[in-house]
């Protein structure tokens, strides 16, 4: 029986590349139209009747989809993801006309463009600080444990060791967790377990202006003025680094 494919796309982990390849392999009529939670209708974020679900999705209703399923996610060096997300927001903000950038829905982009990294990550009121933590702090662990993309507030008081242990347990119950640096493993499993031949390694869709393989964290680190900002971002990444190490998805040491 053909499995249902569920790609749990954490932002800035090469998800557009993977989605494009999968959508091409299954055909447009088999792809759920819900790519982000705001597109969900009355049937929720995982509406029935599709072969591929792929996007920035909460997955608390995963078990409502028929078996068999192939459910997976991709992780990236956490510091690289933090930096890539920040620079992505800055690029997108620069493309918007002022009237659109002023809209409340563009607050993240507007703040990234207007603020230096120190103030963007650790300035502002409590509402803004909560926004930053939801998007950057322990993003992988929080997503796995809560099944919600912006779930950090639900695990904020959990000791790091407990958070990582719970996230690892959930990750090992998925059908696959892959490192961005080795998408050949995902290619192999999609072929063997879902019957899909896709080319992912070395492919880049929606990437930034830098040369493929260029590290973003050193660029962001060079813009940081206050030592406590750098230490804070290292803390944001710590649980996710431990998780990747436990899963055998090694990460680079910070530079």
Check residue 208 and give its pLDDT. Answer: 57
Beta strands in 99-240, from DSSP E residues, in sequence order: 176-179
Rounded CA separation 139/152 (Å):
7
Q: What are the two backbone dihedrals, phi and then psi, of residue 183, each rounded to the nearest 5 degrees? A: -80, -5
Which secondary structure element, helix H or strand E, spans residue 54, and what is its range? strand 52-55
What pLDDT is recorded for position 1?
Answer: 75
Name the residue among 108, 61, 66 with its Cα closest to residue 89: 108
pLDDT, averaged in runs of 10, over the chain (255 residues):
94 92 94 93 94 96 95 97 96 95 95 96 96 97 97 96 98 96 92 92 60 83 97 97 94 52
> What is the structure's pLDDT at 250?
75
- Predicted local confidence at residue 207, as pLDDT: 54
pLDDT score at 210 = 62
Its pTM stands at 0.93
Cα angle, residue 111 at apex, residues 109 and 115 outer, rounded to 5°: 130
- Residue-level length of the chain: 255
pLDDT, position 255: 46
């Amino acid at each position: 029986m053909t499995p249902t494919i569920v790609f749990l796309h954490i932002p800035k982990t090469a998800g557009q590349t993977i989605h494009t390849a999968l959508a091409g392999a299954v055909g447009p009529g088999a792809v759920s139209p819900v790519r982000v939670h705001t597109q969900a209708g009355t049937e929720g974020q995982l509406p029935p009747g599709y072969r591929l679900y792929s996007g920035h999705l909460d997955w608390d209703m995963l078990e409502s989809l028929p078996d068999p399923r192939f459910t997976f996610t991709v992780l990236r060096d956490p510091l690289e993801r933090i930096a890539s997300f920040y620079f992505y927001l800055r690029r997108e903000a620069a493309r918007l006309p002022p009237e659109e950038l002023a809209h409340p829905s563009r607050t993240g982009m507007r703040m990234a463009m207007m603020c230096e990294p120190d103030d963007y990550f650790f300035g502002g009121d409590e509402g803004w600080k909560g926004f930053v933590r939801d998007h950057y702090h322990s993003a992988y662990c929080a997503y796995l444990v809560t099944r919600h993309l912006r779930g950090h507030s639900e695990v904020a008081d959990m000791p790091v060791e407990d958070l990582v242990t719970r996230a690892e347990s959930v990750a090992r119950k998925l059908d696959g967790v892959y490192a961005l640096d080795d998408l050949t493993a995902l290619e192999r499993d999609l072929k063997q377990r879902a019957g899909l031949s896709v080319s992912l390694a070395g492919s880049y869709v929606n990437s930034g202006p830098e040369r493929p393989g260029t590290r973003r964290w050193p660029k962001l680190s060079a813009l940081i003025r206050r030592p406590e900002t750098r230490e804070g971002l290292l803390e944001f990444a710590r649980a996710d680094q431990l998780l990747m190490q436990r899963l055998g998805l090694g990460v680079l040491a910070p530079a």
